[in-house]
Amino acid sequence: MNQFDRAFELGKLYCDRGEFDLAVENLREATTGYFAEKNFSQYLKCMNLLLRIHAEREEFEEINLTKERLQDLVLNEGFELTSKTYYTLAVCASYKNQIDTATDYLQKALAIALASDNKEDICHAIFGLAMVYSHPTVGKYSDALKEIYNLQVFFQVYSMPDLQASSLFLNAEILKQMQKYDEAIEVLWKAYDIVKTTRNVVMSNYLMGAMADTYFEIGDKDMARTYITLAQRSVDSDNHRRLGRMVKQLAEKIGGETQSNFDLIFDEVNHSVVEKKLGKIDFKNQFILLDLLRLFVQNQGQIYSKEYLVENVWRQPYDPAVHDNKIYVTIKRLRKLIEPDYEKPKYIFRAKNGYYMNKAARIHFEH
């Protein structure tokens, strides 16, 4: 394995984990190397992963630039018009809602893949066609399902877990549109078995959202609230904008005691907090801040003196000369993390003889 293969594998790993900044860094290194080597097959695999990231971040200008770059390469550099090339151009077009163009590219991709008997390319082209057939502006659900069922034959022989999970998500969405909710749930559980193995964080969150929406349509609001809360606790709304927007819309649709009803959710297990406006906030390796917030959250409204905080959070004997400024600085750091408007705090207040958590804040402590 050369350095570009390693960069590609790292990029895919980070992409699956939802760590897009690191994924982009490695994938761009890989694309540069593959292009220099004229390894266009791997180059296009990198481009497809980058497109997935741009779509998730809703970076539409980057998607446009990717399509223009590919078209320029075809015209000026003699870039090979393979099945993967057409598939990548189709992905760009579909993200821009150019469904007719995407369909045309995918039919060409499938024809080339069948002629060369490239099973991986055949599967991607079939999945792409199923995706465009199921688009709301097309609505050819029966045709889309036929393509998905064709894919299942390949998956019995070839291991392509990410594509298989994606096809199951699409299958469930189509069944939901056809109001076949019980069948959709059954398909989503099959997708869960795959995602559990691949540990793809972004797919896992989409799965939770799909479960929530389907259970809501069935009429089981309690199950819907359970799944949407799980999705809300995990999604990184700043990084995963499309997913974050979807989850927020679902939460508003489902209603009830979901994240939108709380100002702050303290997640004890994952050492994180979900703030209503700011989203998920990680406290990894910030143990003092986490312990301080835990104390305030568990005893909302109770005032804690500086002496108490030093002795129970820092576990040191209180010395005003040492600790007064330390407490001030630490509270300031905590506020900057969790307060949507640092200048107008809504959570941590200062009293004459200490600090406390605003009793009016709607807070949930998740064990």
The tens-digit pLDDT sequence of the chain (367 residues) is 789 999 999 999 999 888 899 999 999 999 999 988 888 888 888 988 898 888 888 888 888 888 888 878 777 766 677 888 888 888 888 888 889 999 999 999 999 999 999 999 999 999 999 999 999 888 899 999 999 999 999 999 989 999 999 999 999 999 998 999 999 999 999 999 999 888 888 899 899 999 999 999 988 888 888 889 888 888 888 788 888 899 989 988 887 654 556 788 888 877 888 888 887 888 878 899 999 999 999 999 999 999 999 999 999 999 999 899 999 999 999 999 999 988 889 999 999 899 999 988 888 877 5
Beta bridge partners of 355: 304, 350
| Distance separating alpha carbons of residues 314 and 87, to the nearest angstrom | 57
Task: Return the pLDDT at 279.
Answer: 78
CA angle, 307 then 311 then 314, to 5°: 115
Reduce the DSSP state of residue 274 to 3 states and report it: strand
Cα 145 → chain centroid: 25
Burial 293-328 (b: 16+ CB within 10 A, else e): bbbbbeebeeebebeebbeebbeeebeeeebeebbe
Token readout for 61 is 């200008």
- Give the residue from 176, 92, 91 showing the smallest Cα distance to 128: 91
Give me the pLDDT at residue 326, please. 93
Strands 264-267 and 272-275: antiparallel
pLDDT at residue 316 in the model: 93
Backbone dihedral region for residue 240 (phi beyond 0: left; psi -120 to 50: alpha; all else: beta) = beta
Report the 10 Å Cβ neighbour count for 139.
12
Q: What pLDDT does 367 receive?
A: 59
Domains and CATH numbers, the chain: 174-261 (1.25.40), 287-366 (1.10.10.10)
